[in-house]
Structure 1
Amino acid sequence: MTATDLADVEFVVHTLAQTAVDKEKEFGDLDAVVGDGDLGYSLARGFEKVLNDWDTFKRDDVATFLQQIAVSISSRIGGTSGPLWGTAFLRASTASKALDTIDGTAAVAMLRAAADGIMKRGNANLGDKTLLDALVPATDELERQIAAGADAAECRAAFARTARECADATRKLEAKRGRASYSGERSIGSPDAGAVAVAIIIEHIIAGWDKR
């Protein structure tokens, strides 16, 4: 992989981390509707550590870099979020080892690996009203756009748009995992905080992509 590949991955991770820190209150307020309200705090503290340790991470290759991110956030994020996000980065790290370059197809492979890791670690499936209900359909759409020959800008826009649409659509679902599941049918009518957080993070990454 090239230095450009690593720089692109660094941009994605740094934007993700900064958004998690900046949106702490918003994510917490979303989670407080039917959950325990700690999503914003947990993500902010974990990714705050990533930002603080940014210059210390080894950058031998993408896999090494992502593995260190996984360790960093897992050591700081509490509750269920730490293991899930740590697993996501670790699985993405493993997937990157088989890639020659970081292009759209590679991004799909890494996103799928991350989502699969979250599914297994959290014993969650699509429709359970989790962040997967935004991440997986958005990844599916990205893959479709690439296969259809869409240009890079169109692929990115479709990825972000689908993440937002699917996050909003979680209003119709009943939570099956996490603290929100304790609310049962009362969780219907409010979007899943994790799914919305994923959509917002993706939107920020896409919005800044051409300026990176």
Structure 2
Amino acid sequence: MKTIAQTCVENETYFCDLDAVAGDGDFGYSLARGFEIVLESWEGYDRSDLGSFLGGVALTMSSRIGGSSGPIWGTAFLRASSVARGKQQLEGADVVAMLRAATEGIMARGGASLGDKTLLDALVPLTDAIEAGVRAGSDPKAIAKSAAVVARDAAERTSTLTARRGRASYTGERSVGSPDPGAIAMAVLAERIAGTR
């Protein structure tokens, strides 16, 4: 979680620049402000189990970030926290279940589906890759690296899609040609996690 938070803060300008192409340019700003609060609140989160910790992060994200990012990311962490409730450590299958739960939450909250040019277009393939690696019994580091490659490829391919959700959907066909900033964020996060394991 700390890696995710620090990476989003460090990439504020990059994510904003991506969002400015077809959106309103505040994606990086919103994420950075929210994760700055997460980092500032780090020692105060309930650590009795992983679910409680993630629930605290979810509350921070949903209540302290403006725009659509707060509800979307807050919902993702909240759904993941329900899977992690009562756990002190996670197995590969738990990680997959958490990502699936987060995906379902994002779909329900934002009304988006695969192909709508959102972060889901990288998150779902990333999750599929992790699940395949877990089922194959692969080494966690190898799984993380493989998932990062899949996420990057999927994120870059969103440049061929027309945005159908979020601010970018207002631009219609003009959104074609640039990747979705949320999907790129998923790739950047996956790459950073793979590089720090």
One-letter amino acid of the counterpart of residue 116, structure 1: E
Secondary structure in 2 aligned to 1:36?
coil
Mapped contact 2:144–2:193 kept (Cα < 8 A): no
Instruction: For 1:160 and 1:110, locate their aligned partners in 2 and report how far apart those are by CA, in whole Å.
Output: 17
The correspondence for 1:161, drawn from 139, 149, 155, is 149
- Over aligned residues, Cα RMSD in angstroms? 1.2
Instruction: For 1:194 and 1:107, locate their aligned partners in 2 and report how far apart those are by CA, in whole Å.
Output: 20
Q: For residue 4 of structure 1, what is the aligned residue in structure 2?
A: none
Q: For residue 171 of structure 1, what is the aligned residue in structure 2?
A: 159
Instruction: For 1:205 and 1:149, locate their aligned partners in 2 and report how far apart those are by CA, in whole Å.
Output: 19
One-letter amino acid of the counterpart of residue 154, structure 1: A
Say whether 1:146 aligns with 2:149: no
Equivalent pairs counted in the alignment come to: 197
One-letter amino acid of the counterpart of residue 205, structure 1: I
1:151 shift after superposition: 1.9
Secondary structure in 2 aligned to 1:141?
helix
Q: For residue 43 of structure 2, what is the aligned residue in structure 1?
A: 55
Q: What TM-score results when the alignment is normalised by the length of structure 1?
A: 0.90
Instruction: For 1:97 and 1:153, locate their aligned partners in 2 and report how far apart those are by CA, in whole Å.
Output: 25
CA pair 100-71 structure 1, distance change in 2 beyond 3 A:
closer
Gapped runs of 5+ residues in structure 1?
Answer: 1-12
Instruction: For 2:137 and 2:58, locate their aligned partners in 1 and report how far apart those are by CA, in whole Å.
Output: 33
Identity, % of aligned positions: 56
1:169-209 deviations in whole A, cap 9, x for unaligned? 10110000000001101111100000001110111111111
One-letter amino acid of the counterpart of residue 130, structure 2: L
Gapped runs of 5+ residues in structure 2?
Answer: none
Instruction: For 2:71 and 2:4, locate their aligned partners in 1 and report how far apart those are by CA, in whole Å.
Output: 17
Q: For residue 10 of structure 2, what is the aligned residue in structure 1?
A: 22
Q: What is the correspondence of 1:125-144 to structure 2 with a 5 Å cutoff?
A: 125-144=113-132
Say whether 1:97 aligns with 2:58: no
The correspondence for 1:123, drawn from 95, 111, 122, is 111
Say whether 1:80 aligns with 2:75: no
Say whether 1:108 aligns with 2:83: no
